[in-house]
């Protein structure tokens, strides 16, 4: 391998390699390159005009943390996917051929809290559990190197390196291999809209950053002077995950915060790069945008759109959350009433040009499902944002009963969109998922804590209950307790999720992107029915029994432990539903 760094304005760059200083010579393109091959396993850094040694902006390995030296790594010498090559799941025998996103289920997890060990190797031990609940793709929260031992990962500063406490690059390759061997794809969450505040060496090399910061920190220079090399930095990072590590897709964090006024948006360039890689590798690759814009441009085909595979729909979460909890503070204010949930289930977005009271302006654009099928929206009843950005990181299981949790799961997993689960929801985990950090700098830790308190003020939450992100117990509380799976409500909910997985696999209509027929009972008080093909999901959100109207049908699945209104599997559909309950039925064919 050969080492080099882009430093277009530098007068002198020295490569410090294994304790020896080697002056470099610049090329016309602003790159300073070492002309000889370098062995793997050597520590190195760059000294720029006397500043340093600094970590390599493209470092693949940071065993000493983001403030330490980089280490050379031969990616090709890591595991080459031998385990995956032996499986025929997901493609032709003899190699991993990927999975389509259409009809699939995504499972979002954070490596540091998914297991007590908090490592990639420990997470890989649970792939069979994920298969048992119908998961197709594992979506990992960011793994790029960030300062400190633990955190959410969205403050990464060295995007090419895998965070060392998770196991580093070799463990990451092993994880991808293990997932593929089990027939599961991997989606990696990446953050291209900003860099973290500690350990960011990029501006010490060149004009990587925009003159104005984004909402969460230093934004990338995508359209200013020398932006072409900055854009290449992002596109090469895309190639790293998809080609070199073999992942199946990227989740692009907060793309609405990308500032790009150039002739071709960086998202379209990422999509073009990904499509070319998919053709080269002979397997599908996916890009999923987290976007607050409710704008179909993300998923519409190029050249009119950016051509991404899918995007998140927060409107689904908000409408379902309000229907279940009655919470209408902050951005939930516009989502009261089952008519809102009805609109979201049939049109994708609630705000599609309508007035948003939280934003104090009209928001969003309508979707044309003739151009963009409904599976291109990724939906969830819980995710890392909607749990972790609550004041105490409380899950739905903290306040809802089993019947309500079953409703959330059924509408998410059996609707027309691509469902995503958040780790632990399948067993109603009792552990919260709170915001935790380990910033070594006291002033930075204080600034982050105070910033979160200010954000919560708009939601009407009590600042006095916000956990200290830096306290070790905040992390400890957020680690999943896997012993819960065998007991009480946790075992009941896990069994229910597994039954939903079986039903989803056995009923093609429940995996299709055909839009459902959704009806709300007169007055919109509590009952909603969603019909997909010959399958109907009938839901009672109220805390009292309610009548339902469905044609002659037989029960496929009922919510756990209702008050007696749900029929046995195979029995006729009940005339009423108990409080907080649902029933899934197949319509009897007409004679």
Any catalytic annotation for residue 253?
Answer: yes
- Cβ atoms of residues 126 and 133 within 8 Å: no
Distance CA 529, CA 531 (A): 7
Q: What percent of the chain has pLDDT over 90?
A: 83
Tell me, yes or no, whether 498 lies in a domain.
Answer: no
To the question of whether residue 237 is assigned a binding role by annotation, the answer is no
129 marked among binding-site residues = no
Please give the residue range of the domain that contains residue 523: 515-587
Q: Where are the beta strands (DSSP E) in 123-272?
A: 137-140, 144-145, 158-162, 185-190, 249-252
Catalytic residue among 136, 155, 177, 290: 290
Is 321 annotated as a binding-site member? no
Structure tokens of 181? Answer: 């061997």
- Once rounded to an integer, what is the mean pLDDT over residues 124-153? 97
Q: Is residue 565 part of a domain?
A: yes
Mean pLDDT over residues 95-103, rounded? 95
Inside any domain, residue 578: yes
User: Please, what is the average pLDDT of the chain?
Assistant: 92
Structural domain contains residue 564: yes
Q: Is the pLDDT of residue 312 over 70?
A: yes
Kindly report the backbone phi and psi dihedral angles of residue 246, in degrees, each rounded to the nearest multiple of 5, phi listed first: 80, 20
Q: For residue 501, how many C-alpha atoms fall within 13 Å in the half-sphere facing its CB?
A: 21
Res. 440: pLDDT tops 70 = yes
Would 568 be classed as within a structural domain?
yes
CA distance 451 to 162: 27
pLDDT tens-digit readout, 207-229: 999 876 666 668 899 999 999 99
440-470 in b/e form (b: 16+ CB < 10 A) is: eeeebbeebbeebeeebeeeebeeeebbebb
Q: What confidence tens digit (pLDDT) does each residue in 329-349 have? A: 999 999 999 999 999 999 999
Q: Which residues contact 486 (CB under 8 A, 6 or more apart)?
A: none
Of 200-204, 357-361, 450-454, least confident by mean pLDDT is: 450-454
Q: Which of 253, 334, 425, 507 is catalytic?
A: 253
Tell me what the mean pLDDT of segment 259-280 comes to. 96
pLDDT for 88 beyond 50: no
Quick one: pLDDT band at residue 534, thresholds 50, 70, 90? very high
User: What was the pLDDT predicted at 455?
Assistant: 65
Answer whether residue 572 is part of any domain. yes
At 320, the pLDDT band (50, 70, 90 cuts) reads very high
For the chain, the 3-state helix, strand and coil shares in percent, each to the nearest 5, are 30, 20, 50
Q: How many CB atoms lie within 10 A of CB 191?
A: 24
Q: For residue 572, what pLDDT is reported?
A: 85
pLDDT band at 453 (very low <50, low <70, confident <90, very high): low
| CB of 219 closer than 8 Å to CB of 165 | no
| 544 in a structural domain | yes
Report yes or no: 198 and 155 within 8 Å, Cβ to Cβ: yes
323 or 219, which is more confident? 323
For 19-26, what is the mean pLDDT? Answer: 96
251 is in an annotated binding site: yes
> Which stretch of DSSP H or E encloses residue 205?
none
- pLDDT at site 465: 79
- Classify the C-alpha dihedral 398-401-407-409 as positive or negative: positive
On whether residue 53 sits in a domain, the answer given is no
Task: Give me 495's structure tokens.
Answer: 């069994």
Q: What is the band of 62 on the pLDDT scale with cuts at 50, 70, 90?
A: very high
Look at residue 591 in the predicted model and tell me its pLDDT: 54
Residue 421 assigned to a binding site:
no
pLDDT of residue 95: 86
pLDDT above 70: residue 79: no
Q: Please, are residues 557 and 564 in contact by the beta-carbon 8 Å criterion?
A: no
Chain segment 353-400, per-residue pLDDT in tens:
999 999 999 999 999 998 899 999 999 999 999 999 998 999 999 999
89, pLDDT greater than 50: no
pLDDT surpasses 80 at 533: yes
**Do the annotations mark residue 388 as ligand-binding?**
yes
User: Binning pLDDT at 50, 70 and 90, where does residue 92 land?
Assistant: very low
429/383 Cα distance (integer angstroms)? 13
Handedness of CA 240, 245, 248, 249 (dihedral sign): negative
- CATH value at residue 568: 2.60.40.1180
Q: Is 255 annotated as a binding residue?
A: yes
Tell me if 385 is assigned to a ligand binding site. yes
Read off the pTM: 0.95
Q: What is the pLDDT of residue 462?
A: 63
Where on the phi/psi map is residue 287: left (φ > 0), alpha (ψ -120 to 50), or beta? Answer: beta
Domains: count for the chain: 1
């Amino acid at each position: 391998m050969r080492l080099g760094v882009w430093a277009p304005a530098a007068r002198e760059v020295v490569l410090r390699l294994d304790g020896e200083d080697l002056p470099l010579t610049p090329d016309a393109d602003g790159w300073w390159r070492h002309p000889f091959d370098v062995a793997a396993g050597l520590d190195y850094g760059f000294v720029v005009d006397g500043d340093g040694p600094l970590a390599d902006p493209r470092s693949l390995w940071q065993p000493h943390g983001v403030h330490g030296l980089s280490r050379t790594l031969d990616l090709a010498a890591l595991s080459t996917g031998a385990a995956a090559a032996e499986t025929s799941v997901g493609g032709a025998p003899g190699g991993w051929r990927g999975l389509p996103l259409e009809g699939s289920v995504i499972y979002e997890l954070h490596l540091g809290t998914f297991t007590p060990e908090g490592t990639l190797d420990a997470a890989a031990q649970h792939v069979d559990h994920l298969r048992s609940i119908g998961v197709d793709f594992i979506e990992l929260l960011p793994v790029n190197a960030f300062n400190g031992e633990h955190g959410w990962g969205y403050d990464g500063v060295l995007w090419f390196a895998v965070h060392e406490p998770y196991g580093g690059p070799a463990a990451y390759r092993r994880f991808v291999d293990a997932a593929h061997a089990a027939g599961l794809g991997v989606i990696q969450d990446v953050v291209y809209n900003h860099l973290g505040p500690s350990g960011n060496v990029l501006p010490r090399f060149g004009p990587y950053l925009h003159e104005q910061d984004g909402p969460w920190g230093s934004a990338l220079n995508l359209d200013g002077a020398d932006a072409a090399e900055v854009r290449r930095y992002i596109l090469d990072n895309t190639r790293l995950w998809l080609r070199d590590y073999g992942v199946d897709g990227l989740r692009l964090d907060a793309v609405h915060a990308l500032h790009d006024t150039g002739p071709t948006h960086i998202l379209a360039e990422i999509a073009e790069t990904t499509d070319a890689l998919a053709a080269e590798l002979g397997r599908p690759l996916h890009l999923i945008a987290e976007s607050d814009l409710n704008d179909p441009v993300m998923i519409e085909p190029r050249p009119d759109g950016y051509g991404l595979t899918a995007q998140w729909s927060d409107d689904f979460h908000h409408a379902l959350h309000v229907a279940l909890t009655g919470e209408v503070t902050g951005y939930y204010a516009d989502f009261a009433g089952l008519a809102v949930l009805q609109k979201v289930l049939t049109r994708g977005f609630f705000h599609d040009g309508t007035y948003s009271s939280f934003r104090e302006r009209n928001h969003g654009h309508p979707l044309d499902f003739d151009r963009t099928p409904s599976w291109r929206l990724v939906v969830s009843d819980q995710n890392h944002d909607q749990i972790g950005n609550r004041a105490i990181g409380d899950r739905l299981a903290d306040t809802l009963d089993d019947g309500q949790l079953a409703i959330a799961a059924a509408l998410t997993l059996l609707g027309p969109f691509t469902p995503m689960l958040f780790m632990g929801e399948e067993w109603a985990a009792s552990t919260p998922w709170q915001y935790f950090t380990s910033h070594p700098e006291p002033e930075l830790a204080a600034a982050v804590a105070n910033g979160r308190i200010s954000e919560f003020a708009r939601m009407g939450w009590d600042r006095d209950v916000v956990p200290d992100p830096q306290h070790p117990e905040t992390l400890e509380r957020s680690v999943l307790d896997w012993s819960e799976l065998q007991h009480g409500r946790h075992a009941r909910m896990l069994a229910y999720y597994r039954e939903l997985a079986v039903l989803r696999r056995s009923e093609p209509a429940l995996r299709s992107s055909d839009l459902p027929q959704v009806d709300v009972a007169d007055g919109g008080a509590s009952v909603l029915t969603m019909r997909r093909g010959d399958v109907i999901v009938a839901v009672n959100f109220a805390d009292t029994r309610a009548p339902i109207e469905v044609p002659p049908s037989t029960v496929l699945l009922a919510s756990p432990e209702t008050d007696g209104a749900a029929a046995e599997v195979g029995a006729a559909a009940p005339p009423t539903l108990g409080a907080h309950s649902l029933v899934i039925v197949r319509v009897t064919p007409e004679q």
